[in-house]
Every structure is written in structure tokens, then in C-alpha cells.
Structure 1
Amino acid sequence: MDVDAFVLTHRPTWDRLEELVKRRKHLTGAEVDELVDLYQRVSTHLSVLRTNSTDGALVGRLSGLVAQARSAVTGAHAPLWREFARFWTVSFPVVAYRARWWWLSTGAAFLVLSAVIAVWVAGSAEVRATIGTPDEIDQLVNNDFASYYSEHPAASFALQVWTNNAWIALLCLGFAVVLGIPIPYILLQNAANLGVNAGLMFGAGKGDIFLGLITPHGLLELTAVFVAAGAGMRLGWTVISPGHRPRGQVLAEQGRAIAAVAGGLVAMLLISGLIEALVTPSPLPTAVRIAIGVAAEVGFFVYVFVLGRRAARAGESGDLEDAPDLVPTG
């Protein structure tokens, strides 16, 4: 089957059904009959596409439209808890999963660059001399770096950390509107900062302290930034290469899906902020603190790759407009 021709032929029907669904509270009798008829026809179209198309975003969008139309016909409203549950079990994990190669490659490049800078700084006294005076570096490695995590009350520190990291993540998402071009620069700045601090600490023989303080919260925190950067650059690339569908339609779908990323990152950064405020400076053994950070990171990967893969295979796109605001009852 020629899927492009099929879509071109039936898109007016889908658009008309979408229009009726949006006006479902103000339809005339004739329009209600039309809604029922179009719902049945579009359900058939969806069945055909599920069998013949590999375009998950298109299938996901049509699935949402059919679900909304079915619910408009039956008139049963979805409770808020169902929408909340759908967000965490479908919308956020599927968007993160679909963008996985973007943020995984972003993370790999970030860590490699940080490691190169760290080795360069740790191995060169000349480089360290350009960063600060011996007294300034001594103050950092022997006092400031460790005290940073304990000099403020836990609650206020957690809020400060969350606000800072949320701002970086939202910048990455926001820059998607300019094709994601500034995002690599933001990542470069953060990679350089991490690499310099690691190099100074390792160069002073304090590498164990550095890893013991950074690892518990840093794994999930950096992953959140990588997800934001990957999703933002993916959206930018969508504008450049939309595939076989209209650029405006693809951009709108991906843009709405970005909202799911933003919501999910709030939770990720909140968790990493709590770990940084409560676990990192705690008297727990270093191995225990690191284990908590690793557990949080593994939990995120399991969450995304289990629920996200399942939703992707079901044709979900993460487009918030696909989420049925009504529960089918018939």
C-alpha cells in the first residue's frame, strides 16, 4: 500500500473529525451523526495504518484522535488521576525513549570531553597555573569543593540545586526553537567546568573525594541535562529534516512532545537535587552514597527503556494532544 497516498486521500476526513471532537459540546444533531460516522471510518483507517505503516508518530496521532472521538460519542470523562498516570507511564518515557540516541550520544561526547580536559589539567602544572594561583587552587581542593555540599541547610540547598539545573535543562529545551544551535555551547561550558574541577582534584590527589561527592547526584543530574539537550536538538533537526510529512505538522507534534520532557525533567532534577542535598554531604560511607546514585540512575534507565519501548511499540508518540481526555466506555 502507498501510505503517503493513503494519508493524502484521508487527511481531510481526519481533520474534519478532529474539528468535530474539539467542538463536541456544541454540535448540532447532524454534526453528531457525522461525528459517529467519521469515528467509524477513521477507526478503519487506523487499523489499515497499523498493519501497513511504520510511521509510529502518525499511528500514535491517529490512535489519540480515535480515542477522543470514541469518548466524545460515549461521553465519559477521564478522571484526572488517569491523565496523571498516562503522563508518567506513556508520555514522558516514550519521548525519552524515542530520543534515546540523541541524548545517549550527547552524554557520551560530554563525558569524553570532560575526561580529556580533566587529564590535561591534572597532568600539566602549566595549565593549572593559568586557572588560578597555588593558594586559590589549594583553597578549592582542600576546602571549597567539599564544603559546597554542606555549608547550606539541606532544604534551601536542594531548592538552589534544583533551580539551577532546571534552568539549564529548560534552556536546552527552549533553544530547540532556533534549531538547537546554542545547545552544544551550553554543554561545552558545563563539560569544561566539570573537567577543570576533576583535573584540579585529581591533580592534588583528591580524586576519591571528587568522585565520592559528584557521583551520588551527578549521574541522574547529568542524565537529565543530556535528555533535555537531546530532545531539544532532535526537535531542531525535525525542522531541517521532517521526513515525508509536512514540516509544520511534524514540528507541532514534536513541540508538544517536548512538554512531556519538561514535565519529566522536573521530577528527575528534584530527585537529583534531594540526593545532592541529603545524601552527598551525609556521613554515610562513600560506597553507600555512590550506590544510592547508581540506583537512581539505573532506575531511570529501566523506567525509560521498559515503559518507553512498550509505548513506542504501541504507536505512541508522546504528543500531548494524543492523550485521550475522555475514557472510552463502548
Structure 2
Amino acid sequence: MDVDAYSARNRGAWTRLDTLSRQRKLTGAETDELVSLYRRTSQQLARLQTHSPEPELVAGLSAVLARARGRIVGSAPNTWTEIGRFFTHTFPAAVYRVFGWWLGVAVAFLGVAAVFATWIAVDPFARETLGLQEDTSALTAPGGAFETYYTEHSNDAFAALVWTNNAWVAALALFMGVLILPVLYLLFMNALNIGVTAGLMAEAGRLDSFFGFLLPHGMLELTAIFIAGGAGLKLGWTLVDPGPMSRGEAVAHQGRATAAIALGLVPTLLVAGLLEGFVTPSVLPTPARIACGLLVETVFLTYIVTAGRRAVHGKGVSTSGSPAVYAPDNR
């Protein structure tokens, strides 16, 4: 089956079905049309579930049919079912589809940070080149600014502050991605900041403290930033290379996936904020704090890979609600 041609041929009817299912009042003729379109689209969905490798298209039609069915039988789709489907299908599928992009961002980001950290730690002229102060003991000393940053506020206030800040950075990376260069600059400056701090702590012989305070929350937090950056760059590249779809359709399609990622990263960054607010500054031994962060990171990555692969390969696709997607992305 040529999914692109099939989708283009029937998209008008699917859009009409969605419009009628959302319309507050229907005439007798419109009700008959709604029922007819519902039956026809149900048959088309069954065919797509058999032949289409595009779970987002299948999920989009499922959502339209759920709304139409609710309108026909007089009940609305279950909100909790839709929320559950978002976190079991839509979000992990969207993240899994841009895996190559955010993995590339992660490698580049960590590479840049490592280069700057090594340079500062081994080259006595690095500080001068970067315009850093000669005496940075206020930052690196035991009980210095690097460590007190995590304890100067109450745990709950600090967690909320971190969550808000990280959500803002992630949103910028996601939706400025359409311009590409601002996201590259944002990611570079964050990598530079981490690299410089790591280099200064290494030079002071306190690299253990650096990782002890960064890793408990930083693994999940940085993963979320990598995902946001990768998805943002994918959105920008779609504008450059839309593939077989028109530029407007391609950007709209990828934009919906980006919006799903943005929504899914909100609770992800909340968990990272809670780790940074309550685990990182806690009195737990450093190995225990790092183990907590590693456990959460492992659970998150396993969730993305397992649920994302299942969704992308069309396993377990149901007819519950999901953001409507009419145009597949076969790139």
C-alpha cells in the first residue's frame, strides 16, 4: 500500500469526520453523514492497521474514531484513557523516532564539555584564554559556591526553581529548533558551562565532588535536554528537507510530535527537579545518591526504548484517544 497516496486521497473525509464529531449541533443530514463517515473510516483504519508501518497515522485515526463513536453513542472518550495512551504510546513513540537526533546531541554535548574540562585542567593558559579569574577557590573549595548552590534554598523551593528553569531551557531547545542556530548556541553554552566547572573542580582536585553533586539529578536532567535539543533540531531540519510531503505538512506533522515531546518532558523534568532538590543535597553517601539517579535514568531509558519501539512498530495499537495525525512521515 502507498500510504502517502492513500492518506492524501482520504484526508478530506477524515478531516470532515473530525469536524462533525466536534461540532456542537448536527442536522439530520449531518448526523447521517457522521455515521456514514464513521463506518467508512473504521474500515480504512482496519486496513491501515494491517498494512501501514505508520503508528502515528493509525493512532490519529483511532482518536478521530473515538470522538466520533462518543458522539454517535452519546458519550465522550475517557480522559484518563487518553492520558494513559499518551504516556504509553504517543510520547515514547515521538521520542523514539528522533532517537538518532538526540543521541547525536548527547555525544556532541558531552564531547564539548569533556574538551573544555580537559583543557582547563591541563593547560595553565586556558583560564586567561577563556577570561576566567585566576582565583576560583570560592567556587571549588569545600563548602564553596558549587556545593552550597544545592543547599542554599529549602528542598521544595529549590526543586520548584530547578523544574521551572529546566522546563524553560527544554522549551527553548524544542521550539527554537526551527531556526537551528539558536538551539546549537544554547546547547553549546550549556556544554561550555558544565565543561568549565568540571575543569575547575578537576584542577582543584575535587572532581569526585563535582560528579557526586551532578550525577544524582544530572543524568535524567541532561537526557531531557538532549531529547529537547534533538527534537528541536529535527523540527528545524524538516523545514529544510520536508521529504515527500509539502513543507507546510511536514513541519505541521513534526510540530505535533515536538509538542508531544514537550508535554511529556514536563513530568520528566519534574522528577529531575525532585532529585536535585531532595536527593542531591541529602546526607546520603555519594554512592547511594548516584545510585538513585542511575536507577531513575535506567527506568526512563528502558521505558522510552521499550514503549517507543512497541508503538513505532505498531504493536498494541488500540483505538483510544491520541492526537490526530493524518499525514505519515516516511523519512
Q: Normalized against structure 2, the TM-score is what?
A: 0.88
Deviation at 1:171, TM superposition (A): 0.8
> Is 2:209 the partner of 1:209?
yes
**266-275 vs 86-95, greater mean Cα deviation:** 86-95
1:34-76 CA-partner distances (Å, limit 9, x unpaired): 2111112122222333333334433332333233333332232
| Aligned: 1:268 with 2:264 | no
1:18 aligns with 2:18: yes
Q: Which amino acid aligns with 1:144?
A: A
2:123 is aligned with 1:124: yes
| Structure-1 separation of matches of 2:194 and 2:290 | 18
Change (3 A) 1:10 1:125: same
| Alignment correspondent of 1:102 | 101
The worse-fitting range, judged by mean Cα deviation, of 40-49 and 277-286 is: 40-49
One-letter identity of the residue aligned with 1:83: E
Question: In structure 2, what is the Cα distance between the partners aligned to 1:50 and 1:231?
Answer: 26
Q: Which amino acid aligns with 2:161?
A: Q
Deviation at 1:132, TM superposition (A): 3.1
Structure 2: any 5+ residue segments left out of the alignment? Answer: 326-331
Q: Which residue of 2 aligns with 1:83?
A: 82
**SS of the counterpart of 2:181?**
coil
Retained in 1: the 8 A contact 2:53–2:313?
no
Aligned to 1:174: 175
Instruction: Kindly report which structure 2 residues correspond to 1:1-330, keeping only aligned pairs within 5 A, or say none.
Output: 1-23=1-23, 25-130=24-129, 131-135=131-135, 137-142=136-141, 143-176=144-177, 178-314=178-314, 321-322=323-324
Residue 2 to residue 95, structure 1, CA distance change in 2 (3 Å): closer
- Alpha-carbon distance change, 302 to 4 in structure 1, aligned in 2, over 3 angstroms: closer
Deviations 1:140-181 (CA, angstroms, capped at 9, x unpaired)? 1102211211122222222221222111111112213x3333
Q: Note the C-alpha offset of 1:266.
A: 1.6
Q: What code does the residue aligned with 1:237 have?
A: W
Whether the aligned pair in 2 keeps the contact of 1:179 and 1:239 (CA below 8 Å) is no
Given that residues 213 and 280 in structure 1 are in contact (C-alpha distance below 8 angstroms), is that contact kept between their aligned partners in structure 2?
Answer: yes
SS in structure 1 opposite 2:153? coil
Decide which moves more: 31-40 or 66-75. 66-75
CA positional deviation for 1:320:
5.1
C-alpha distance in structure 2 between counterparts of 1:235 and 1:57, whole Å: 16
In structure 2, what is the Cα distance between the partners aligned to 1:73 and 1:313? 31
Q: Shift of residue 216 of structure 1?
A: 0.6
Structure holding more helix per residue: 1
Query: CA offset at residue 238 of structure 1?
Result: 2.1
Q: Which residue identity does 1:69 align to in structure 2?
A: A
Structure 2 vs 1, CA of residues 231 and 2 (structure 1 numbering), >3 Å: closer, same or farther?
closer
Q: Is the 8 A contact 1:56 1:312 kept in 2?
A: yes
Q: Is the 1:39–1:70 contact (alpha carbons within 8 Å) kept by the matching residues of 2?
A: yes
Shift of 1:291: 0.3
| Distance change (3 Å), C-alpha of 1:292 and 1:4 | closer
Q: C-alpha distance in 1, partners of 2:180/2:70?
A: 38
Matches of 1:96 and 1:279, distance apart in 2: 27
Which range moves more in the overlay, 201-210 or 230-239? 230-239
* Cα pair 1:110 1:188 within 8 Å, conserved: yes
The code of the aligned residue for 1:322 comes to: A
Change (3 A) 1:180 1:72: farther
Q: 1:221 to 1:256 in 2, by over 3 A?
A: same
- Provide the alpha-carbon RMSD of the alignment: 2.2
Q: 1:80 to 1:58 in 2, by over 3 A?
A: closer
SS at match of 1:283: coil
Unaligned runs of 5+ in 1: 324-330
Q: Deviations over 1:249-274 (max 9, x none)?
A: 33223323323222222212211112
**Distance apart, 1:10 and its partner CA:** 2.6
Q: What per-residue deviation string (whole Å, max 9, x for no partner) do you get for residues 105-146 of structure 1? A: 1111101111111111101111134443333x1221102211
Matching residue's letter, 1:150: T
Deviation at 1:19, TM superposition (A): 2.4
In structure 2, how many angstroms separate the alpha carbons of the residues matched to 1:312 and 1:273? 29
Q: Which amino acid aligns with 2:288?
A: V
Q: CA deviation at 1:210?
A: 0.7
